Structure 1
Amino acid sequence: MTRAPIFAAVLLALAACSPSGSGSGTAPTVQAAGAICRPTPVGRQMTGCYLTLTAAADDRLTAVESPAANLVQIHESRMEGGMMMMRELRDGLALPAGQAVALEPGGNHLMLLGVKEPLVAGDTVALTLTFASSAPVEVTATVGQPAAPGADADAAPGAH
């Protein structure tokens, strides 16, 4: 009976070629680009951060932490009854495989709450992004004014 060893060898070869890992325990990856956080308004301890995420496989941004704030939430902004409303995405943000997902003013974004020290243009903010499947990603965001959504010069900048 030589089928069992051959079957085992085929399974090992397939596992080694699998995108989910090669036996080394590596997780799928997410790339982060263009991270920027707005300066904190005078007297306020909150601000928005924006970046673009691209996942190698379907994934979900589930949490974000920063030593600069007591809490970071994943938010969405949308129009409801003629007013811009913002709410936390408690289940995180879906990241379809191979698609760039932009977190930008007027849309999905990160909200830093309880900012410990005022953020001024030129500062940097460390962010740790946690995903459902991928390994955490460390990002350094610059503090400054983000481009308007879609980088259209005629677009009005969002509130955050």
Structure 2
Amino acid sequence: MTSLYSKRLKQLVLGLSLIGMAWQVSAQTRVNDAWVRATVAGQHSTGAFMTLQADTDSKLLNVQSPIAKTVQIHQMSMKDDVMRMGQVESVALRAGEPVSLDPNGYHIMLMDLTAQVAEGSKVPLTLTVENAKGEKETIKVEAQARSLGAMDHSKMDHSKMQ
């Protein structure tokens, strides 16, 4: 009876440790405030934006979405008063440091859209992040479509309003 109990206890410990490892993998990179710029009829591309924070040194390798035939990671920069935008292979994510993907820097381009992105709709994105050990993590995100002029009221302090 003792050996059966011992065997069951070992199985339970192994099972719990595997669950713990799965949780650690899923918790490596956090995505906050993911949104996509809404489009108008006939518009063929748009941008996706968010803040990423990895627990360990990592890099964003690629992004996929069923609403776009082509998805690329881009970087916006200014050189000699000329705005430039181009594709990059990855975005470095330093351990514990938030990295903002926004309209003025790194961002995700969704091109050859399969349909209009309506304000308020949810856009599925799948991010692939690789850590320094070469381990890849897949993160599924539902990004809210917002209009370009929409203000983000979540960061406003409403407590002092009269």
Shorter-normalised TM-score: what interval? 0.7 to 0.9
Aligned length: 129
Residues of 2 paired with 1:72 and 1:125: CA distance?
13
TM-score (norm 1): 0.72
Matching of residue 74 in structure 1 with residue 76 in structure 2: no
Q: Pick one of 105, 108, 114 that aligns with 1:107.
A: 105
RMSD: 2.6
Percent identical across equivalent pairs? Answer: 33
1:84 is the counterpart of 2:83: yes
Which residue of structure 2 lines up, in the alignment, with residue 144 of structure 1? 146
- 1:42 CA displacement: 3.6
Task: Give the Cα separation in 2 of the matches to 1:23 and 1:97.
Answer: 19
- Distance (whole Å) between structure 1 residues aligned to residue 104 and residue 68 of structure 2: 21
Q: For residues 71 and 25 of structure 1, do their structure 2 counterparts lie closer, same or farther at Cα, with a shift above 3 Å needed?
A: same
TM-score (normalizing by structure 2): 0.71
Output one character per residue of 1:69-107: Cα deviation in whole Å (capped at 9) or x when no partner: 1111111000122121100012x0000000010001111
Looking at structure 2, the residues matched to 56 and 35 of structure 1 have their Cα atoms a distance apart, in angstroms, of: 18
Partner of 1:94: 92
- Larger fraction in helix: 2
| Structure 1 equivalent of residue 62 of structure 2 | 63
Runs of 4+ aligned residues of structure 1 deviating over 3 Å after TM superposition are: 22-28, 145-148
* Equivalent in the alignment of 2:7: none
The 1:118–1:23 alpha-carbon spacing in structure 2 relative to 1, beyond 3 Å, is closer
- Structure 2, gaps ≥5 residues long: 1-19, 157-162
